Amino acid sequence: MGEAAGLSRNYIGNLERQENKPSIETIEKLAKGLGVDPEVLLKPEE
């Protein structure tokens, strides 16, 4: 996942543990790595 998004494994782990808040640029990279639109990552959980 980190490689696909161009982010380090450590940074991805920090995001998963909510130790960092991702910037819009990071959200866009994550979405691209996952093959989804960024808005999917910004929707609240139901």
Mean pLDDT confidence for 23-30: 94
Q: Residue 3 pLDDT more than 80?
A: no
Task: Identify the pLDDT of residue 23.
Answer: 94
* Torsion angle of C-alpha atoms 21, 16, 30, 20, degrees rounded to 10: 20
Cα 8–chain centre separation:
11
Report field, pTM of the whole predicted structure over 0.85:
no
* Residues 6+ away with beta carbon under 8 Å from 38: 24, 27, 28, 31
| Domain assignments of the chain as residue spans, ordered by start | 2-42
